[in-house]
Chains A and B, each alone.
Chain A
Amino acid sequence: MSSDPKPNHAIDLDAIRARLAQPGGRRHWQSLEQLQDTKEFRNFLENEFPSNAEGADKERDVINRRDALKVMAASAAMAGLSACTKLPTEKIVPYVRAPEEIIPGKPLFYATSMALQGVATGLLVESHMGRPTKIEGNPDHPGSLGGTDVFLQASVLGLYDPDRSQTVVFEGRISSWQAFVAEMGNLQSQVAPKGTGVRILTETVTSPTLTAQIRKLLQQFPEAKWHQYEPCGGDNAREGARLAFDKPLNTVYRFDQAKVVVSLDSDFLVSGPGHVRYAREFASRRALEGPQSEMSRLYVVESMPTSTGAMADHRLPMRTSDIQLFALHLASAVGVSVSEPDMATPLLPPGQVPQPQRLSPTVENWLTAVARDLLSNRGKSLVVAGEGQPPVVHALAHAMNEALGNSGKTVYYTEPLEANPVNQTESLRDLVNDLNKGHVKLLVILGGNPVYDAPTDFGFGFALLKAKTRVHCGLYNDETAELCNWHVPAAHYLESWGDGRAYDGTIGIVQPLIAPIYDGHTLQEVAATLTGDSGKSAHDLLREYWQSQRPEKDRAFEAFWERSLHDGLMANTALPAISAQLHPVFEREFSSTAAAASPNELELVFRPDPTILDGRFANNGWLQETPKTVTRLTWDNAAMMSPVTAAQRGLASGDYVTLRSGGHELKAGVLLVPGHADNSVTLHVGYGRRRAGSVGTGPGFNAYFLRTSSAQWVASGLQIEKTGDTYFFASVQHQYTIDFEGHPAEEESVNAFRRDLVQVATLDEFRKDPNFAKAPETTESHGLSLYPDFKYTGYAWGMSIDLNRCVGCNACVVACQSENNIAVVGKDQVMRGRAMHWIRIDTYFDGGLETPEMYFEPLPCMQCENAPCEYVCPVGATTHSPEGLNDMTYNRCVGTRYCSNNCPYKVRRFNFYLYSDYKTPSLYGLRNPNVTVRSRGVMEKCTYCVQRINAAKIRSEEENRQVRDGEIVTACQQACPAEAIIFGDINDKKSRVSQLKAQSRDYVLLADLNTRPRTSYLARVRNPNPEIHE
């Protein structure tokens, strides 16, 4: 009923005819309405999609039939009759012919991989009766090692997104794939033989198959051109390598080998190629067995605080545009022979008013200390440059690594991942020029959304219209599709056959978990229509390509193919390390380029958004609602700046301002971020979408309006002007945002440390007193409860979270949401303090607003021994299991919220409205069938993924054995790239979790309350350089 739009929306006759013309009914019908894009349809979408659409959370006063029924049900129930509502009669529908591998009720796992900005990461996808429901990392894949990140975790929601484009569109009207193929046939013959005016625009392509196809095309049509563009791609790295080595190279870091790491504005732990792997490697050097063990040291220079910055032992906030100068100094300090850089521009310590002509002592001291540290760790150190830095900084980083003898040890180089490495900005510029000159007859856009995210000065939208035939293939009918004559819905990667290279070049296989839901087609298939082998399925294209490439033939190939599909990757296909010679004359290049903006000028820094990246995930409710690292902001981007900078300009969080830069302007809300560099404003791209879907259209401000090709990452000379209005952000944690009285509520962090919520020590302190984290109360608190202690004869589940490993990447948060069917509530509800995440990453700051240390603390349910929630529940909906879990029985809960009031950790979440989306049919497939979908008025919480625990116990019982250590993995643990979360049986003294809990760093939150949590933490240990005094 709810899936049927009739009640909400009357459709015209054409619609019905069109619908009848289409095979397979309603799906097309809906999409047709989508194309009509009427007001009714918007409402319809809102009603259809209440938990995700922001608008749906505005209290709708209209009472529709569904609501009316609810009241009747309620009043009937009030009359005590609800005991007499019978279970509905269910139908049960078996297969006609059962597929052999499926056992009804048992999930299957398939290996595939997801390419993001060209870099593929291997995955294992859980499938229930043919429905992919959960993404896990592929332990065999070098880019994952079992870990994942927010984008990988949330991608499964993208598959079921009802807003995805659902039919081929020609000139705004429904068309068909057949029609499209035919049309491409004609065009082909028209442009033949030379293919004059044919242009292909792709995102970064590492897929050998697709590359081969495009190459084939280019052979057929010598005059055709292939352009690549990616708004947040690797141009600077590419150019940097070219600068240093004369050719573009792919840089592979080995953080597990590095004792000292210097990050020049690089957020390598959560972004860029291989970050999942890097997080694991980095964490492995931060883990401490005991006081004697060694740990690495991390220096970070950056403007906007990032995960990497938060993990730093020393973090130096510095304007992005000043960092290249810093790099020069550092380079010369570690013995790179650079001609003495121009010292006219001083480097400013954070929070100081600019005073010209002198290098600040603080930074001087800092720099020399870092240099000394690097020099004393030759071959064991590593300098990493961030994508936001100009090529020269990347080149310097390479030079430093050479000079420090790191090359081949902590870093090595391979041939580039992409088959055709180009400067994408220039590549797009060429395309735009050709378009404007009217040289382009046929433009085929394979993926990407350039109309939205191309540099403003290109005016891509207008240029695009100059092409005669414009074809767009993408997941959404987005801004670009709108301006194209043809739009072909792309298949989601979970529906596709394909391949792609990992950060080290290993070839990952993309194989479909499900047939295309919205009859999408892969890029390969679309490309095939041009190369004349249309009709070939993506699978054939892929297989044929590799058959032609691989040495193995016939049988051998079959075997190889089977294994590759099974593993999700082709063994030993990583690109070999190659020796790179530094460009002989590259010194001169520097001093010329080394010109920084004048000190007190305001710079505008562009960065990809931590949760929706360059905007491609804008319609993903999970990612929109994921609190961004450090700022804890949801559903928005913001003009982020340091409190000092804000104070100097009389700004405060929530001020709605006009940003003027490079002749363009944009209105945005201000957000103060402690630890942000002064005289610098960071703006995340990806928001302010105009045509993203019911979720992504609207929120935030479109930073691309200000982003020009000349200043893609940092623009100088930013003007800020108050509009006088206020903008309301939805932050899940209020510290340092402006509180209701108008001054920053530092209080929160202050209290957090007063309450020993985050236990920290330096390595030396830790060695002196290994037990620094232990609270005295924990020792003698037993038996203080009026109730007898529980006896745990069987298993006793517990969790240990290592604060030294956690990089605050949010992967656990999204993984939990995916595993446990957690609803999205929308900005309005988040603002009201009703976000539903079962695990949250508390973020605390220590030490002032200028250069605070930042601490992440993942917080799932503590599963207390003496649980305050249990004894206050009037109906026994939350109870203590014999294995020590605080069970939560949703169907028994009447929603008094007493348990939440009495939970000192506030880990319980309440369904204030009907948050779960019962109406959108496409989302049914997404749900984990082993977890109840909670209805309105019910309390919910983390139960250590009890569904996984039960499954493992049943398996072990049937095999007549004990559950093995590590057999049960909670969703958060499985997602964690840094292995910060370990779960297991604490009754088994040999289990990993027991051993971790036995460590001296082990502590629990609010120990003095005698709740005796099962979740405990390993205290954070920092490894500061004694030579640096802050």
Chain B
Amino acid sequence: MRSLLRFLVRNYAFLLFLFLEAVSLAMVFSYNSFQRSRFLNSSNFISASLYNTTSSVLQYFELVKVNEQLAEENALLRTQIEGFDFDGQLLPDTVVFAKQLADTTFVFRTAKIINNSTNKQQNYITLDKGSKDGIQPDQGILAPNGVVGVVTGVSDSYAAGLSLLNPRWSISAKLKNSGYYGSLHWDGENYRQANLNEIPIHVDLAVGDTVVTSGYSSIFPEGLLIGTIQTFDQPQGENYYNIKVQLAVDFKTIRHVHVIENIKKEELTDLEKTVIDGAGSN
């Protein structure tokens, strides 16, 4: 007993080392099942408010670029409105228009990015709005020029989520002109590029083809810009292309984003669940 005690005292550094490493590893693994990512992540109050302060200083340096982006988006929206012929149809159609509004599936909210990275293997995004502004997990994050990520954890006034630059998440994407869909996945190498998988080799492709969201995921509506095809090749003996997509969003410059809520999501998942359960019981 005494020699055991002496052994413990003499080797306390090694035992403390093992203990601390075990604690660290336990944290790594418990974080990996990232349903628990709400704990101690950057929607955590102290770190989020620190990032909020620094970002409120840093955003002044980017005002010019942000203004340009907003002006571009304005111009785009104005061109789209110009396309509609309101003359003479506005009054009779008002009722229809109101009905369409009531049928809206997606609600957009603005938010500001207060922490973001592009240089890690797993990149995360923190937003300055949280559950009291209506933001919930599983809502999409969208920049003026394309898809950015998805919210995974919220606190009262902050939200944190996975960036598209995170291999833990992939997004359902399709080719705009042919309609074939696959999954878009980031491989951790270049923050301007992601891989589009599962596009069969009989599809005609061209460099520069537009890749958009497929709308199959209930997080994003259909047809939001993701990027354009940069290179593609046909691996020997495979049925699918290797496609590199140039992402439309430059993750280093985004600051103002929209968070998308699908207000019919519950209805949709409930319906899908009853169909799948029904099929399973037969």
Do A and B make up one complex?
no
Query: Hey, which bits of chain A sit against chain B, CB under 8 A?
Result: none
B: residues with CB less than 8 A from A are none
